[in-house]
Structure formats: structure tokens, C-alpha cells
A = this chain, B = another copy of it.
């Protein structure tokens, strides 16, 4: 639609040739990556020093906090979009720490449900509050009024082949 006529000197915000657009996208990706890695690094450090835990553990707890009745291992790895084998290890350690329990599933001895213990729910709530505050600080360079817009653009990226449940 808005392509052909980069003709005008004004070039009112429109168009770029393909090669330039490709380079621009590459630079954008590098910045996206840089910003994300930066925030992740800060969060990891905060989780480590503040709660002696990790981001992946927090992610597992967050998923289970939302699912009061617990989730099966396969549901968990699907929600978190990580491999099955990976979840096994993280859950093992969380169980050892008394944060999670494995509950056998009736009528299917292959599966187990995983659920937060009461201690786990408590710990999660404390961490979630800090987490939100950390993000608030880390992203405060962003114009809040632009958040929705930015958000929409990112949605476009994530949706590529990722059937978008949130």
C-alpha cells in the first residue's frame, strides 16, 4: 500500500527500500534483545540477592499461582513454553525446597499434578510484589502513554506462529 512513492522529498514518514528496511529491522532486533537482556539481568540479580532464587523458579511459581488446582507437568511446560525435561529439574528442586508438591492424578498413573504449597503461595506473593516494583523502576524510562502502542507492536512479533494465548 504505502510503498512506491518514497518519491516526495518530504518523505513524510513513509517507506524505505527493502535493504534499508531489513537493516532497520536488524538494528531494532538488536536493541530489543539488548533491552530484554538488561532487564532480565537486573531481575536475576534482584531475585538472587533478595530471595535467593531464580527467574525460572519464579516463572514456575507464577504459573502455578494462577492455577489454584495445580497443573500437570505437560501443562506447565506448555504454559511456560519450555521443554518437558527442563520443567522436571526445576520442579524437582522446588519440591525439595517445600515450595511445590507433586500429586498423583486419579485414573492416570502416568501423570502428576504440581501445586504450590501454602508456604509456596506465601513466598510467591512476596516475590511478585517486589518483582512488579523492580519492573516499574526498570521500565520507567518508557513513556507510559506509549505503552499500549509499544505493546501492540510487540504483539505482532510474538504472534508469528505463536498461537497467541497469553
Give the interface of A toward B (CB within 8 A). 1-2, 13-16, 21-29, 31-42, 81, 132-133, 135-136, 138-148, 150-151, 153-162
Contact = CB atoms under 8 A, between A and B. Distances in A.
A1 to B, nearest CB: 7
Contacts of A42: 160-161
| Interface SS of A by simple majority | helix
B26 A135 contact: yes
20 contacts: A2-B145, A21-B136, A21-B144, A22-B132, A22-B135, A23-B132, A24-B144, A24-B148, A25-B136, A25-B140, A25-B142, A27-B147, A35-B157, A38-B157, A38-B162, A42-B160, A141-B156, A142-B153, A143-B153, A150-B153
Contacts of A144: 15-16, 21, 24-25
Given A25-B144, A81-B37, A138 B154 contact: no
B157 A26 contact: no
